[in-house]
Copies of this chain bind each other. A is one copy, B any other.
Amino acid sequence: MRQASVAEAAPVDPALLARLRAVVGEAGWVDQPDAIAPYVLDQRRLWLGRTPVVLRPASTAEVAAIVRHCAAASVAIVPQGGNTGLLGGSVPDQSGREIVVNLGRMNRIREIDPLNYAMTVEAGCILAELQAAAESADRLFPLSLGAEGSCQIGGNLSTNAGGVNVLRYGNARELALGLEVVLPDGSIWDGLRALRKDNTGYDLKHLFLGAEGTLGIITAAVVKMFPRPRDVQTALIAVRDAGAACELLADLRVASGESVTGFEYMPRICFDIVFRHLKGLRDPMARAYDHYVLAELSAGRATGALREALEVVLAEALEKGQVIDAVIAESTAQAKAMWAIRHGIPEANRHEGAVIRHDVAVPVSRIAEFIATASTAVRDRYPAMRILAFGHLGDGNVHFNINQPEGGDPAAHLAEWEAVHRIVHDIVVGMRGSFSAEHGIGRFKRAELERYKSPVELALMRRIKGLLDPGGIMNPGKVV
């Protein structure tokens, strides 16, 4: 693929472009092909769009002015944060008529209020910087995910990002107390409230959270903070199977006083692949097991109570046969080494060839059933494919990834993408599960949305889109 030049992408009215340039100034104007390139290529390098210009506004007023001008000219806008989404939701189409509005320059933390456990932040703040800002106020901002070094909070909120701490702290949606949004007509909705209770009419922020920029542009937010854990216990646990992992989780939640902050399931194949490709990692256990859980418990004060609860539950689970072996980290370094295995899976797996990915969720109680049923169904039809079902068991969220057969042809594997998706998604939806647990819809899962949502639900979504964005200028071709 080749990036189109500005000249080729000329259909946007030059007079509009001049107005937009006046709004953002030189610092917010990106129109050279080389400079544009990273803004129009999606994270997984599956989609290269075109745009005449990337606008980088510095304030909410600038965003509003951009939207007003574009609305008047019926020119579409693609709101963009860190451009780390996995489903093509943050890149323009190939018409050259969509203008990218990147929020990266709006990166001020407007206020930190430790006593209210909240901070007011602009959309372009990098997630890792918010984590650090909270920590420097002796607080925790719990949202944590692979892209945290480059993703932006506006994008996290617009996509309702998940990650590894959802079990205890909720998705991005649950972390938002208030929003500031530029609506598709260019007006500004100031919903920057920092309240724990507010029942004054419809709770409008939920329209924009998770809407992937199709209903407006989130420009700022009030997000929750939490006490910073002083005591973190991490354990790698070999379990009998995924069902035993699920029971262990339920017991740990009770015994630890709801202190389980991470609970990741990994079958052995994940370990094999990680140790095969990533240097410096080693198996903390003396022998290999079929199923593992990486559990993390966190508490505010280091009293030994958390470690004790963990040991008691593990001892009981060993006796019941749910757990076969376990290693509790004795240091932060050991805990990090355990997490490195989990976090290393996606990178290591890139060396294994082509992967058909699913990001699904079912009720936590049905995870084992789902993995068994879907694995059998895939293997029945494709005996040589290798299944990596791992992930956030504590949220019922499995990354059900299917590797190409060893030594097979990547293209031949990817040619089965649709057929494999159908097998897996039919099963997950049949279990009242989600065919996109944390990655959203974006551009790539629209057909799945169309296929699996009820006519009532689809119609409601489309009517809401039509109501808020009657001109269809907000991130067209995404979600609905």
Q: Which residues of A contact B (CB under 8 A)?
A: 113-118, 138, 159-160, 162, 166-167, 170-171, 173-174, 183, 187-204, 206-207, 209-211, 215, 226-231, 246-247, 250, 253-259, 298-301, 303, 305-306, 308-309, 312, 361-366, 392, 394-397, 432-441, 445, 448-449, 452-454, 456-457, 460-461, 463-464, 467, 479-480
Contact = CB atoms under 8 A, between A and B. Distances in A.
Nearest to A452: B200
Which 9 pairs of residues, A with B, have the shortest CB-CB distance? Answer: A206-B206, A305-B305, A115-B365, A257-B299, A257-B300, A198-B434, A197-B437, A116-B363, A227-B254
A169 B306 CA distance: 21
A197 B114 CA distance: 28
A257 B199 contact: no
A461 B395 contact: no
Nearest to A365: B115
Contact of A434 (B200, B361, B448, B464): B200
Contact of A201 (B196, B246, B362, B461): B461
B365 A197 contact: no
Contacts of A363: 113, 116, 118, 194-195
A395 B202 contact: no
Q: What number of copies of this chain does the assembly contain?
A: 2
A456 B188 contact: yes
B197 A202 contact: no
16 contacts: A116-B363, A116-B365, A171-B197, A174-B174, A189-B456, A192-B432, A196-B364, A197-B395, A198-B436, A201-B461, A202-B207, A202-B460, A202-B479, A230-B254, A256-B301, A301-B305
A454 B190 contact: yes
Which residue among A115, A190, A209, A453 has the maximum number of chain B CB atoms within 10 Å of its CB?
Answer: A115
A203 B209 contact: yes
B439 A199 contact: yes
Contacts of A116: 363-366, 396
Contact of A228 (B246, B254, B309): B254
Contact of A200 (B229, B254, B449): B449
Given A254-B300, A256-B300, 5 more contacts: A162-B197, A197-B437, A202-B460, A203-B210, A258-B300
Nearest to A437: B197
Contacts of A457: 189, 191, 201, 204
Contacts of A433: 195
A443 to B, nearest CB: 13
Given A300-B253, A454-B190, A210 B199 contact: yes
A200 B396 contact: no
Nearest to A465: B202
A196 B436 contact: no
Contact of A257 (B115, B254, B301, B436): B301
Contacts of A201: 441, 449, 453, 457, 461, 479-480
A447 to B, nearest CB: 12
Contact of A203 (B118, B173, B183, B227): B173
Nearest to A206: B206
Contacts of A305: 301, 303, 305
